[in-house]
Structure formats: structure tokens, C-alpha cells
Structure 1
Amino acid sequence: MDLNTITEVVRPRTRAELPSWQAGDAWLAGGTWLFSEPQAQLSRLIDLSELAWPPLTISDQGLCIAATCSVAALDALPCPADWIAAPLIDQCCRAFLASFKIWKTATVGGNLCMSLPAGPMISLLAALEGVCTIWRSDGSEQRIEVTDFVTGNNSNVLAPGDLLRQIDIPLPALKRRTAFRQIALTPVGRSGALLIGTSGRNGDLLLTVTGSTVKPLQLRFASMPDATLLRASIFGDIPDTSYHDDVHGKPAWRKAMTLRLAEEIRAELAGGALS
């Protein structure tokens, strides 16, 4: 869709060249949502493409994902053999309600910044214990966990003029065993619940609940819980008010699916525990 209210496009090449934020501004990365509907309130786009951030960087610390990295580039990443959590990348990319054409343009950071309950990059980055780097509009920098970055349905910690720079995935998280579950009301519908469990060599469990809740929520267990403890923890730690309510699923159904999928994940990881 043409944005006929735009009068200027700015293309900074460094952080120092980022213009002062003003009313009517918007960051432009992939633009798959930005150009999908009228944006009558906008008058200037700040194009991030010429900042030329390396999309993906593998180091001894783990994986750094630039906010402008496309979903397609992330999915194509050749991961080291000992990153046994790597299948999650493919699973979450395919949880998108989008075609391969969108993959080539949509960005990881864009999905995170949209902060929708069904955002599969949120699911992936939260489950892998990602940490966001934010360039604040006042010139400062902040690091914050993905689970704290998203604060609700279509809301996050970014203030006007703030920019998500990257998400860092720590190496230990990439070496954990994983189990993935997703469900929707229709075969190719938007996720009504998307849960991911990860477990280390000590048999612990980190359960990440997304899709069914308005923001990503995590339950941590020092050792693999039994079914009763897991169920009680979900009832006790996830308030009924946290379950999302829209045409893709009512809260009662999302809660029931959360309980069901969580138990499937627990059973899978408990059954495949490393000795």
C-alpha cells in the first residue's frame, strides 16, 4: 500500500546520523506491517537499511541477531552441531501466519516490536533467553530480557524514538534440549497457544508460554516437575487475566490448551532426559 502522507525518507548510516525523533516519524525495516494498511499519522520514515548491521553473528558468547535481520536469513542460518536447540528456529519461523515472500522482508526485530501474542519470534527469543539491546532516544543504551521487553498485547518498553538494535542469545541456551508445541483454531490459523520447553543436562525445565497469553511468561523448575506440580504452577503463576481474548481463541480455551501442551512438553523432555 502506498503511504501518501510521507513527505520525507531519511537514510542514516550511523547512530550519530539518526535524526531527532518527532511526531509523525516511524522506523522502516522490513515494512511488512507498515505498508499493509493506511498510516495517515505518519509524515517521515527513517530507513534503517543503510545502517548495514550484520544480520547474524556467531561468537563464543552465542548468537547476535540484528533487529533488521530477516526471518528468511535467520531460518537459513547454518548452526553449529552442538546447538541442539537450533530446530526451534525452523519451528518458530514456520509458526508465522505468512508466506515465504513475507519471510524475505519481515524482520526479527519487527515481529518483536509489534509485540503481538502470536508473534513467533517473540516465542523463539524468549525461550532461548534472549536479551535485547535498546538504543534510547537520549543517546543511552539499555539491555533487557525479551520476557520483560514485551509488556502486553501490542505493547512494549520502547518509548518514542527508542530503537531496538539487536537480540543476543546466550550460548548455554542454544545447547539445551527443546520441545515445541503450537495450536490454532484452524490448520493454518494464527497461534492460539505456542509453548516451548527447554532442559539442560541437570534435568531442569524452563517453560515459555506464548500465544495464549498477552505477553511471554516463563515457569522455571530446578528439576523436572511431575504433572501435578506443573499443572499447579500454571494455575498459580499465570493469572486468568493474562490469557488473550480475540477471534483466534477465547481465554478459557487458551488456558486449557496451555495446560495440555505444557504437559506434552514436560512428558517429552522428561522421557528424553540425558544421563
Structure 2
Amino acid sequence: MDLNTVTEVISPAAPGAWRPGDAWLGGGTALFGEPRPHVRRLLDLTAAGWPALTVHDDGSVDVAATCTVAQLNERLGRHAIVRQCCHAFLASFKIWNVATVGGNLCAALPAGPMISLSVALGASVLLIGPGGEERRVPAAAFVTGEGTTVLRDGELLRSIHFPASAFTGRIAYRRGSLHRHGRSAVLLIGRAASPGEISLTVTAATRRPYVLPLGSLSALDAIPADDYVDDVHGRPLWRRHLTRHYAAQILAELS
């Protein structure tokens, strides 16, 4: 979709370049997906030259917000959960090579699989304000609702940090949709980082991510009934049922 109100593209863009009416541009697959009449300028982050992935000596990984899905899958696809979340896009290679990890988080769609991955693996995100000030937020707290995040005016998401422990432990993945190639209606990730301790990340079914200790299915009672998504991709009652069904499978698999 054309953004016919945009009169200028700043490339490359720096954090201090932001002013009201601006929008940060990553891959653009979400930005150009719907009308945004308030946007006057695009600030191009892809030209900033950030390394897609940085692996540290302690085994932790920093993923740049501008890292594409294709790059993430190529570099970290040896981990099954990364590969599964990349494929949850159900997108063509064209999208894989343009859509960015950071853009998927910032779009804050319930079905965003990069949200699921970051939250389930205990990642944190680095945010940079218009004056260069930095703050770090747990990925689990970044998305606050459908299309809403903790980002303040002018802030950008710089990177996602995965601790070394993120890729250890046993992980179980379940995804459900109304159609074989449809948008995720339920996406659950269970993780047993230590014996007897299972955490369950619920996404796609709910308006924001939930991370619950999965000792029993009663843990799901912590999700308010009105927080299940209601749209053409699935009704709340069905999403709630499927969430419980998959949670039971994950509990059995990881116990």
C-alpha cells in the first residue's frame, strides 16, 4: 500500500533524527500494510549497517531489529524453536528476505511469531529514545495489547538480546490455525529450563503474551476470558479450548 502522505525518506537514520510525523522504517511489510495518514517522513534503519546477529563469548546472542527472518533462520535455524517460529510466518521467500525481527515485535500483532520466540526464550529488548537514551525491557513486557507496545514517542527498538540459557533446556511447540496456511490462532511454547519447572508462553490466542508456570492446566485460569482474541481467524471460545488442549500436550511432553 502506498503511503501517499510521506514526503521524505531519511536514509540512513539516526535516533536523534525523529520528529512528530515520523515513522521508523525496517522491512516495511507491516508499515505499508495499512493506511497511516499521520506519517510524513520515513526514517530508514536498514541503512544503518547494524550486524544482523552478534554472538558473544558467553553464548548470548544479540539480534538486530533490522535482522530479517531469512537471516535469523540461516544463522540460528539449527535450534528447532527458531526454525519453527520463522516458519510460523507462512510467508514467501520474498517476505522472509524483507520482514525484520524488530518490525514483527513492533507491529505487536497477536500472531507475531518473533514475539512468541523472544518471550518464550526470556529475551530482552534494547530501546533507544530520540535523545539517545537507552533502556532495556523484558520481551514479555514489550507488547501490551493488539498493536500496542511500551515504545514511547520517537523510541526505536535497536536489538533483541537472547541470554546464553535461552537455547538450553527442553522445548515444546504447538501452533493452531483455522486453515493449513492460515494466520496463527494459537501459538504455545513450553520450556523446561530445569527439572520440574515448566514455563508456558501463550501467544496468538491472546491480545498480549502470557508467560505462566505450567504445573497444571489451572495455570491457564490466569488469562482473563476477555483477553482471548476475537477476529476472522478464530473465536475466543475456540482459541481458549485449543490453548488448553495444546497446553495439556505440552505438559505431558515436558513433564
Amino acid at match of 1:43: R
Alignment partners' CA distance in 2, 1:205 and 1:34: 36
Q: 1:38 to 1:74 in 2, by over 3 A?
A: same
* Structure 1 position 118, deviation (Å): 0.4
Amino acid at match of 1:65: V
Q: 1:64 to 1:200 in 2, by over 3 A?
A: same
| Deviations, residues 156-196 of structure 1 (Å, cap 9, x unaligned) | 00122010010101111211210000000111111110000
* Structure 1 position 2, deviation (Å): 3.5
| Deviations, residues 23-80 of structure 1 (Å, cap 9, x unaligned) | x211111011223344332221101122111111111151111111000000011578
Post-superposition, which runs of at least 4 consecutive aligned residues in structure 1 deviate over 4 A?
A: none
1:145 is aligned, of 119, 138, 142, to: 138
Show the counterpart of 1:267.
252
Q: 1:49 to 1:254 in 2, by over 3 A?
A: same
Show the counterpart of 1:273.
none
Check the 8 A contact 1:68/1:108 in 2, yes or no. Answer: yes
Alignment partners' CA distance in 2, 1:4 and 1:218: 40
Amino acid at match of 2:153: P
Amino acid at match of 1:106: A
TM-score after normalising by structure 1: 0.88
1:88-167 aligned at under 5 Å gives the runs 88-167=81-160
Amino acid at match of 1:246: D
Say whether residues 1:212 and 2:205 are aligned partners. Answer: yes
Structure label with greater radius of gyration: 1
Alignment partners' CA distance in 1, 2:71 and 2:18: 30
Show the counterpart of 1:26.
23
Show the counterpart of 1:54.
51
Amino acid at match of 2:65: A
* Aligned positions, number: 254
Amino acid at match of 1:267: A
Check the 8 A contact 1:13/1:52 in 2, yes or no. Answer: no
Check the 8 A contact 1:25/1:45 in 2, yes or no. Answer: yes
SS in 2 for 1:164: strand
Show the counterpart of 1:241.
226
Unaligned regions of 5+ residues in structure 2, if any? none
Alignment partners' CA distance in 1, 2:237 and 2:170: 30
Q: 1:46 to 1:14 in 2, by over 3 A?
A: closer
Check the 8 A contact 1:126/1:147 in 2, yes or no. Answer: yes
Show the counterpart of 1:5.
5
Q: 1:183 to 1:133 in 2, by over 3 A?
A: same
Check the 8 A contact 2:17/2:130 in 1, yes or no. Answer: no
Check the 8 A contact 1:75/1:90 in 2, yes or no. Answer: yes
Unaligned regions of 5+ residues in structure 1, if any? 81-85, 271-275
Check the 8 A contact 2:77/2:83 in 1, yes or no. Answer: no
Check the 8 A contact 1:197/1:208 in 2, yes or no. Answer: yes
SS in 1 for 2:51: coil
SS in 1 for 2:249: helix
SS in 1 for 2:137: strand
Alignment partners' CA distance in 2, 1:89 and 1:100: 17
* Structure 1 position 130, deviation (Å): 0.7
Q: 1:256 to 1:109 in 2, by over 3 A?
A: same
| Deviations, residues 69-103 of structure 1 (Å, cap 9, x unaligned) | 000000011578xxxxx210110011114212101
Alignment partners' CA distance in 2, 1:105 and 1:14: 20
Say whether residues 1:40 and 2:37 are aligned partners. Answer: yes
